[in-house]
Amino acid sequence: MVILTLNCGSSSAKYQVFDWDDKNVIASGVVERVTQEGGSITHNATGKPEYKMSHECPNHTIAVELIIRTLTDPEVGVIRDMSVIKAVGHRVLHGGNKFTKSVIVTPEVLETFREVQDLGPLHNPANIMGIEAAQKVLPNVPHCAVMDTAWHQTMPDTSFMYAVPYEWYEQYAVRRYGFHGTSFLYTAKRASVILGKKPADTNVIIAHIGNGASMCCVKNGVCFDTSMGITPLEGLVMGTRSGDCDPALAFYMMRKAGMTVQDIDTALNKKSGLLGITGKYADRRDVSKAMEAGDKRAELAFKLETYRLRKYIGSYIAAMGKVPDALVFTAGVGEFHSGVRAGVCAGLEHLGIKLDPAKNALARTRNAETCISTDDSAIKILVIPTDEELVMTEDAFALMKGSYDVHTNFTYSFQSPDYVNKGRAEGIKRDLEKSPELATIIVKIPGATK
């Protein structure tokens, strides 16, 4: 049995194919430049060389059809025909406050996504198009929507409400929603396993740092607060997004520079953050290289980003009302950038967060969970590679079987101490050949029998 997951963005369509019987990823890839000129697909199948092909995709229907043709191709594909696919999981950015868990897509569910698409104008329309395109190609299997916002629906009103006219909330659904929920769910559950605790007894602060970045305060196993707001703009300094700033800044620039609402939206979402400060770089690797070359603006961008992260850690410790079990880093930057992790943890020793520089330098892998804190650190510092696609896959399978429920009443395979990701198990062997010392920081799972 095969489960297909799709993540359709405004100009891309990412996919993963999971063999449920073998519990292994057999293919993954991305169609790029959808709706634009110069479209292409990059396809990676287990045991086969990477396959790339140029293909114009003027819409998401053609992109999904291209994915299916590639998956069933006699030479580069991994399945014999579409009948092997039994369910499709779709990532949806914004579900508003309508959903607390993943759902099977119905016409009513799609209509709800349309109703709230103003809350996610860059992503929700593409998500909807991707679902409709996949339904046309695969009309006889359940299609399941996995919302980035669902995980955060446990927040108390003191966390999600804004101090603005209350009728804005009543009439226009103005509130904090939060994003990266699928990543936070996975890493929070894995943190419980690593700590040897039940999810309900687990208290962690998670930093999901990629081009987009957000933090989550997980209290007693559920989301208590998060840094992103009604849109993914609020919170941390990101690759091209400003994060927190005075709301009156927009009005000031409109008066002083004659900027329109659209100009402000574009500036804050696409021209700010690291790119805005450096004038050149949105990628942390480029920022780091420029810092080493003496670029002062790159240094400022780095310091702004890490300072904002530290501020959120301090505020979440205060909000949690107890000493957290761990600080968790995840996503591309969180998993690989030792410099950012070091910058974030600098000066937090008085809060019980003590980073081990040698361990931190070793932690550069997507194939294992590592601990980079000192032995006497009151709060563990963990690097947990995220796996949003696995959450989507398991949600889709459980929805198909009728066994799914909200995450506090549902147990994922990766919550077992004996859980093994086969692809990552092979990958860590290669990583250890290159860096044998990595073995010293890989976490030992309490209760594991394998």
| Bridge partner list, 371 | 382
For the chain, helix (H) and strand (E) counts, in that order, are: 16, 14
Q: Looking up tokens 């240094």, which residue turns up?
A: 299
Look at the alpha carbons of 358, 360, 364, 368 in this order and tell me if their dihedral is positive or negative: positive
Cβ(126)–Cβ(183) below 8 Å: no
148 flagged as catalytic: yes
Q: Bridge partners of 27?
A: 17, 45
Q: Identify the CA nearest to 331 among candidates 425, 221, 441, 239.
A: 239
- Residue 120 has φ and ψ, to the nearest 5°, of -135, 65
Task: Please compute, for residue 130, the number of CA atoms within 13 A of its CA located in the half-sphere on the CB side.
Answer: 30
The residues with which 382 forms a beta bridge, in sequence order, are: 328, 371
CA 264 to chain CA mean position, Å: 26
CB 96 within 8 A of CB 116: yes
Phi, psi of 417 (to 5 degrees): -60, -25
Q: Which of 148, 295, 387, 431 is catalytic?
A: 148
Sign of torsion over alpha carbons 127, 133, 138, 141 = positive
Per the listing, tokens 């021209």 go with 271
* Cα 146 to Cα 90: distance, rounded to the nearest angstrom: 6
Residue 353 is classified by DSSP as B
- Known catalytic residues are 148
